[in-house]
Amino acid sequence: MEKNIMESEFYQLKVKKPNGEILEMKDFKGKNVLIVNTATKCGLAPQFKGLETLNQKYKDKGLVVLGFPSAQFMNQEPETNETVEEACKINHGVTFQLTEMVDVNGKNEHPVYTYLKSKKGGFLGRKIKWNFTKFLVDKNGNVVERYAPTTKPEAIEKDILKIINY
């Protein structure tokens, strides 16, 4: 893991919650953050359950799970900022923080994703290929790992344990 000589750029980033309130990454200093682009109608949506399990199991040990809803992949997120939290809670049991709807690629991509992708490219380059791409950020704001959409949340647990105990 890289040393934190200067404050991580990660902590300068912000995103809005679905209700429009600002969520600042600096509020997560000292915590490990799992960031996921989500979509409620995606074939990978069952991963919400695994993400919520990780959230419940490790939130008191310094893990924050952040879901970034995105409709960039075949419009598999039909919800709006007004309805996405309720839909995720009712249909998938989600209690972890969701953000406003975002783009994860392209000219309107959210700065959080520009940063994450600049630190950890994917198998075929930096572009996010599908819903449920995951990034693990350590308590110093360093992007530790990027996971493919098909990587189940349970498979990430060992990496979460490493950085929680670091």
Residues with catalytic annotation?
42
Three-state SS for 50-100 is HHHHHHHHHHHHCEEEEEEECCCCCCCCCCCCCCHHHHHHHHHCCCCEECC
How many CB atoms lie under 10 A from the CB of residue 164? Answer: 15
Single out the residue of 117, 165, 116 nearest to residue 139, CA to CA.
165
Return the half-sphere exposure (C-beta side, CA atoms, 13 A cut-off) of residue 157: 13
